[in-house]
Structure 1
Amino acid sequence: MKYLALTFTILATPALAQQSFDCVMDPAELVQVGSPVAGLLAQVNVRRGQQIAAGDVIAELTSEFEVATIGLLEARASSHAALDAQRARLELTQGRYERTRELMERGVTTQDAMAEVEAELVTAQSLVAQAELEQDVAARELDRARAALDQRIIRSPIDGLVFERRLTSGEYLTSDGYVTSLVQLDPLHVEAFLPVELFAEVAEGQNVTIRPAPPIGGVYQGTVTVRDRVFDAASGTFGVRVELPNPEGVLPAGHRCLLDLE
């Protein structure tokens, strides 16, 4: 029994001592940037390998029609002639109504005349309300036209690097196509698969050491952000994701590494 126990200890020790595992450093985001509308590209402002910030203009679609529409709607929305005319008519009708009511109280005019002026007042009030509605609709149509123009300007959704430029000026962008691919390199997402025996030893928020393979090298600290709760039965492993800060972008994505559990 002593020999059997000693043999079991010797066999079990190497598996428990193994704390370094293969991993891959991936970009945090890989975004294929397209447009909600299709159209002809007027210009593309980025090149492969260029650093780009969120909100920077990547490309613009031709927009002569949208610009002309905005000019037309701006003229309509800025014109208050119809509304001013209806308000002046309402003011005149209100004055006539007040005078007719005074005459009615003194018994000088008839009930029919009073009813006629009241009807004119209601009509004038309705016309003012209609003019105000048309003014508001014109302003909303202008906002919609500006939004449509803004959709033809393609901006970067992230801070990152241009990984691929797929289209150039003069080419047609379809509704399901994209102009460029962007990658976010800060932070990096390190992906690894660990034996299921270590599941209880790994927790989200745990610090781990990442050692990139040559020729990069070095030792970096990361934090476990994901611990898969579904095992791979065939390999007896579970996946983990480590967030690795990369503020200067010195670490490349798509490179192999070793993950050391602390």
Structure 2
Amino acid sequence: MKKTVILLVVAITALSISCSVSGRGGTKDKGKDKKEIVVPVQVEVLEKGPISSFILSSGTVEAEMSVDIVAETTGVVEKLNVEEGDSVKKGQILAVVNFEELKLSKDKAEVALKEAENTFKRTKNMFDRQLVSQEDYDNARFNYNQKKLDFDNAKVKYDKSMIKAPFDGVVTERFITAGQFLPMNQKAFSLVNRDLLKVNVFIPEERVRELKVGMSANLVSEAAKQTFKGSVKRVSHIVDPSTGTVKVTVYVKHDPNIRPGMFVKVRLLTDTISDALLVPKKAVVYLNDRRYIFLYDAKTKEAKQVELKIGYQDEIQFQSLNKDLKVGDQIIVAGQNGLKDGAKVRLG
């Protein structure tokens, strides 16, 4: 029994020594297998280029010249000459109302005027030769003037029977149909001049000093996926006390793809720097309301963290004001999230 106990103790001791040796060997192997993490990144080279300062706003495109054309006479619409979407010229006849009746009245008045004019001329000739009395002369002159007035009135009514375009433009709406009875002053058509479009925007009063008439503007339509050119036409001298803004009117350069009613974002270009050092926004990491970028050091294969100081910016880039950045520096644009200053990186 005593011999058995001794053998058991020896066996346990040997097993403990074996485990201890094995454990030390395992720790040593893990130390050998541990490798430093190298983060794959992508870089771009810093370059100089133009960047602009601008004021952002938005608004709806309107026609500077737009009008609702109303009937100036009463009667039946006898003829329609245009449809919605048609381009028309100033003075073009869009529709006629009670035309035949008013034309007949004008023609009759014209004939009566011609007769009265001839009678007056004969009477005056005879009066000059003292062949007729003063009363005959006065009656002939009065009759001529009356017939002239009748003709003028008939011609005005006749002219009003023709609904005409007051300026070149496009018919945007038609409110009447052929054969309907049209009361006076009823709306017949809407007309806009698409060659002269505008957008009214409202700019905070503290930025109005940056604006001037004639400065360039870009109008971006997300729906049309297009950018249109424009310029500042008017800057109001009045501040709206309820909003603290000033009305600015931007004229849109003629383009067949821009239409009244379109919603656009407006960028008023206040300044441009032609040789700014540009940092792509995709390279920037934000931390505690600060902007950081990482430079790639080709010698040490490390990432160097730099706090970015900015000037102007647009949708895709910042102007860098950092004195320690220069053209040709390699900036990390992918893989920088989670990096720390001095982290090992590789291109890939």
Shorter chain as denominator, the TM-score bin is: 0.7 to 0.9
Number of aligned residue pairs: give it. 216
Q: Could you say if the C-alpha distance between residues 216 and 128 of structure 1 is closer, same or farther in structure 2, counting changes exceeding 3 Å?
A: same
Q: What's the offset of the Cα at 1:144?
A: 2.0
Residue number among 201, 205, 211 corresponding to 1:202 in the alignment: 211
Distance 1:18 1:208, change over 3 A: closer
Report the residue type matching 2:243 in the other structure.
S
Give the residue type in structure 2 aligned to 1:222: G
User: Aligned pair 1:174/2:210, yes or no?
Assistant: no
**Mapping for residues 63-82 of structure 1, pairs under 5 Å:** 63-79=99-115, 82=119
**Percent same amino acid among aligned pairs?**
20
SS in 1 for 2:187: coil
Q: Could you tell me how far apart the structure 1 residues matched to 2:124 and 2:189 are? A: 54
Q: Please give the alpha-carbon distance, in whole angstroms, between the structure 2 residues aligned to 1:186 and 1:33.
A: 19
Encode CA deviations 1:135-169: one digit per residue, 9 max, x unaligned. Answer: 23322321221111001110011211111111111
SS in 1 for 2:71: coil
Q: Which amino acid aligns with 1:216?
A: A
Taking the TM superposition and a 5 Å limit, the aligned residue runs for 1:7-26 are 19-26=55-62
Describe the superposition over 1:26-77 as per-residue Cα deviations: whole angstroms up to 9, x where unpaired: 2223311112222221112111111111111111101333223223222222
Unaligned runs of 5+ in 1: 1-16, 95-122
Amino acid paired to 1:52: V
Task: Decide which of 74, 77, 101 is 1:41's aligned counterpart.
Answer: 77
Structure 2, gaps ≥5 residues long: 1-52, 270-348
Contact 1:21–1:192 (8 Å) recurs in 2: yes
2:258 corresponds, among 246, 251, 258, to 251
Q: Is the 8 A contact 1:28 1:184 kept in 2?
A: yes
Change (3 A) 1:131 1:207: same
Q: Does the 8 Å contact 1:89/1:124 carry over to 2?
A: no
| Deviation for aligned residue 1:217 | 4.0
Distance 1:93 1:228 in 2: 71
| Distance of aligned partners of 1:234 and 1:42 in 2 relative to their CA distance in 1, 3 Å threshold | same
Is the alpha carbon distance of 1:134 and 1:201 closer, same or farther for their aligned partners in structure 2, counting shifts above 3 Å?
Answer: same
Which has the higher relative contact order, 1 or 2, with Cα contacts under 8 A spaced 6 or more apart? Answer: 1
| Distance across 1 between alignment mates of 2:145 and 2:205 | 64
Of 161-170 and 211-220, more deviation after overlay is shown by 211-220
2:228 maps to 1:192: no
> Structure 1 stretches (4+) deviating beyond 6 angstroms?
none
Are the structure 2 counterparts of residues 201 and 148 from structure 1 closer, same or farther at C-alpha, using a change threshold of 3 Å?
A: same
Letter in 2 for 1:251: I
Q: Distance in 1 between matches of 2:168 and 2:142?
A: 43
Task: Letter of the 1:242 partner, please give it.
Answer: V
Task: Show the 5 A alignment for 1:236-247.
Answer: 236-246=244-254
Which of 123-132 and 150-159 deviates more?
Answer: 123-132
CA contact (8 A) 1:25 1:255 kept: yes
* Structural RMSD (CA): 2.5
AA aligned opposite 2:71: S
Question: Quick check: 1:212–1:255 contact (8 Å CA) kept in 2?
Answer: no
Rate the CA distance shift 1:214–1:138 in 2: closer, same or farther, 3 A: same
Residues 219-256 of structure 1, C-alpha deviation per residue, up to 9 Å, x if partnerless? 4432322223333344332221111121x533122112
User: What TM-score results when the alignment is normalised by the length of structure 1?
Assistant: 0.72
* 8 Å CA contact 1:77, 1:135 repeated in 2: yes
Structure with max Cα Rg: 2
Deviates more, 1:223-232 or 1:137-146: 223-232
The partner residue of 2:153 within 133, 144, 149 is 144
CA contact (8 A) 2:54 2:267 kept: no
Distance 2:143 2:236 in 1: 57
Shift of 1:215: 4.3
How much has 1:218 moved relative to structure 2? 4.2
- Which residue of 1 is the match for residue 5 of structure 2? none
User: Judging changes above 3 Å, is the alpha-carbon distance between structure 1 residues 219 and 75 closer, same or farther for their aligned structure 2 residues?
Assistant: same
Task: Say which structure is richer in helix.
Answer: 1
Please list, as runs of the form range in 1=range in 2, the aligned pairs for 1:52-131 lying within 5 A after superposition: 52-79=88-115, 82-83=119-120, 86=123, 90=127, 93=130, 124-131=133-140
Cα pair 1:24 1:191 within 8 Å, conserved? yes
Indicate the SS of the match to 2:133: helix
Query: Which letter does structure 1 place at the counterpart of 2:207?
Result: L
